[in-house]
Amino acid sequence: MSSLLPALSRGVTLLAVMVLIALLPWISGRDPAASILRARMGDQNPSPETLAAIREQLGLALGPVEHLQRWFVNLLHGDLGHSWISGAPILPGMIKALGVSLTLMSAAFTVALVTAALLCWPTLRRGLNGQDTRSSGLLAASLTAMPEFMLSALFLVVFSVWLDWFPPYGWQGAMHIVLPAFALGLPGGGLLGRLLTNAVAATFHERWIATWAVARFTRAQIARAVLRRSLPALMPQIGMIIVAMTGGAIAVEQVFSIPGLGRAVLGAASAQDLPALQGGILILLLNALAIGVIANLVRVALLGRALGLGALPVATIAPRPLNRRLWIVPVLVLVLLVMLVALGLPRDPFTSSYLRLQPPSIALPLGADGLGRDVLARIAHGALSTIGMAVVVTLISLVIGLAVGLMPRLAIGPIEITKATPPTIAALIVVAAMGPSAMGAVIAVTSVAWAPLAAHTAALVSEIRAQPHVRIAPILGVGALRLIPRSILPAIFWPVLRHAMLRLPGNALALAALGFLGLGPRPPSPEWGLILADALPYVERAPLAVIMPVLALALMSILGVSLASLTRR
């Protein structure tokens, strides 16, 4: 029975997610009939008879159980229903939008592969020359930490507005795909390059490398063998990188006005078109799961017979000693953030007391936004708002991750599916249930941020339970309820806590991304993502209003990169 627990956990979790999607009209607590009438005719005071007729037309009068049964039956026949707003079938439009998104993701993945190859090439060259293959990975980590929506805004300002090299919006030709592909592909390429560099460096420390060199294999043959040996362990991560692109594509499509699946789902969420939102989320989740399955199949194919024979070699590579000068970067970033908050906190972030898009001056150091509000004040107050929410997310995720990770076999399904769900997709479900808000953004990011901590906890728990003093405890009469607080929690708490703190900057950037997409705090909240979204319509007239929140987000990214680099040495 214990061997069936992981498969049972995965199946139950996937079924629960599908039920949640199907029941969104009832979970939301809002009357879909009233939303439809407002969207179609602007009717603010419909009669009860009109609302009842709309509910009957939509099948909502059946109740949640009957609606759930009908939804699953229609789903088995490939029918996602009709849009509540336009009345058109949902599936054809979603398939067309999915084609656009897959085209964008393919171009972005090509950018990611080229970026990873360029980042890994120095390590591969040093290994072929018999030199030290260890690398700081700072450039790769810097690319990894840059969120897609921030890069999109930056590229839009620099390459479309200032240099006029590429079109800013649309999807009409090859030139329109360049900036979106780079904005979406560079973070994934940085992560892939970092993982590939570490894997290649470890492979060059396996014994067979020396054997092949003595046997006079060519450098090209050794290079191909090293890459084939390094790639299998990366396939699950490559799958996760592509899955993350499905979430990042939503922001990129929104910035560049690309008619892809992400933008279609975001529009459905804004219009409260729940059938379209249900269909889009389901397609996104199935796409993510399919990518994960394909990645694992490729991994097994690359390993070949060595996996079944247990013949995989083991590498030993010593870490570099810690260079204390590396602490300069995070300390400097913290000082800049503190100075930014200290200068802007006494200023009013809400009053429109300046001219619209007023340029910077001594009295107004960062200028004014499109409504005449002080940009410095809004960024400073936004730092407290965004980082404060990130702290809440991190602490709640830590508690959930520790609790779930203590049951590794039972929790494998929720952990795997949650890790395959980008925060943006989780936010779409939360927005459909309770509307956009700061609390909704916290819930959305928390709902996926706990999974890496739970996976870390589960791995540590498995190691600790294999230790002699823990294995012998039940024989000595120590029950599970006493074993967990006495032996297991003290050993895992501090490593998982450090892991959680490292994810604090990433959680802040995820919250900012939701605010940017309109899935988080509502105006006039001075939240970093919302500030950037408010400034984008004026990018051609006041690019500085876009650059300043981008720089604030970049500081948060650099802080996360610096802390992660220090702890992994």
DSSP 328-345: HHHHHHHHHHHHHHHHHT
Dist CA 539 CA 258 (whole Å): 18
Query: Which residues, in sequence order, are CB contacts of 409 under 8 Å at separation 6+?
Result: 2, 5, 6, 9
Given this model, what pLDDT does residue 29 score?
61
**CA-CA distances (angstroms) from residue 362 to 335, 367, 517?**
22, 9, 32
Given this model, what pLDDT does residue 178 score?
92
Dist CA 408 CA 404 (whole Å): 7
Residue 84 · residue 275 · CB < 8 Å: yes
DSSP 8-state secondary structure symbol assigned to residue 543: T
Give yes or no for residue 506 having a pLDDT over 50: yes
Confidence of residue 393 (pLDDT cuts 50, 70, 90): very high
Query: Which residues, in sequence order, are CB contacts of 152 under 8 Å at separation 6+?
Result: 179, 180, 183, 251, 252, 255, 256
Domain boundaries, the chain: 1-79, 80-309, 324-567
Given this model, what pLDDT does residue 20 score?
76
The CATH architecture assigned to 80-309 reads Orthogonal Bundle (1.10)
DSSP 8-state secondary structure symbol assigned to residue 89: B
Based on C-alpha coordinates, what's the Rg of the chain?
Answer: 26
For the chain, what is the mean pLDDT? 77
Phi, psi (degrees; rounded to nearest 5) at 374: -70, 115
Dist CA 231 CA 313 (whole Å): 14
Given this model, what pLDDT does residue 200 score?
82
Whose tokens are 């037309």? That residue is: 57
Query: 253-272 burial, b for 16+ CB within 10 Å, e for fewer?
Result: bbbbebebbbbbbbbbbebb
Given this model, what pLDDT does residue 315 score?
44
Whether 324-567 and 80-309 are alike in CATH topology: the answer is yes
Whose tokens are 């650099």? That residue is: 558
Mean pLDDT for the stretch of residues 421-427: 79
- Select the CATH number that applies to the domain covering 324-567 from these four: 3.30.1330.40, 1.10.3720.10, 3.30.930.10, 1.20.58.1610: 1.10.3720.10
Dist CA 17 CA 486 (whole Å): 35
**Amino acid identity of 478?**
V
pLDDT tens for 189-209 read 887 888 788 778 877 777 777
DSSP SS3 for 467: coil
Confidence of residue 36 (pLDDT cuts 50, 70, 90): low
* Percent of the chain residues past pLDDT 90, beyond the cut: 4
pLDDT tens for 252-277 read 888 888 888 888 888 887 777 778 88
Q: Roughly how many angstroms between the first and final C-alpha of the chain, as a whole number?
A: 41
Residue 326 · residue 565 · CB < 8 Å: yes
pLDDT tens for 266-312 read 888 777 777 888 788 778 777 777 776 776 677 667 655 554 444 44
Lowest mean pLDDT among 43-47, 219-223, 367-371, 434-438: 43-47
Residue 412 · residue 461 · CB < 8 Å: no
**Residue 379: both structure tokens together:** 């960024």
Phi, psi (degrees; rounded to nearest 5) at 198: -65, -40
Cite the beta strand spans of 296-396 per DSSP E.
none
Given this model, what pLDDT does residue 310 score?
44
DSSP 145-181: TS-HHHHHHHHIIIIIIIS--S-SS--SSTHHHHHHH
Mean pLDDT for the stretch of residues 496-507: 79
DSSP SS3 for 349: coil
Dist CA 510 CA 448 (whole Å): 11
pLDDT tens for 74-87 read 888 888 878 877 77
Given this model, what pLDDT does residue 317 score?
46
DSSP 476-539: GT--HHHHIIIIIHHHHHHHHHHHHHHTHHHHHHHHHHHHHTTSSSPTT---HHHHHHHHGGGT
pLDDT tens for 123-157 read 888 888 777 666 655 676 667 767 888 888 888 88
Dist CA 271 CA 523 (whole Å): 18
**Amino acid identity of 219?**
R
pLDDT tens for 353-385 read 888 888 888 888 888 888 888 888 888 888 888
Range list of H helices, 406-479: 412-419, 423-434, 438-465, 468-471
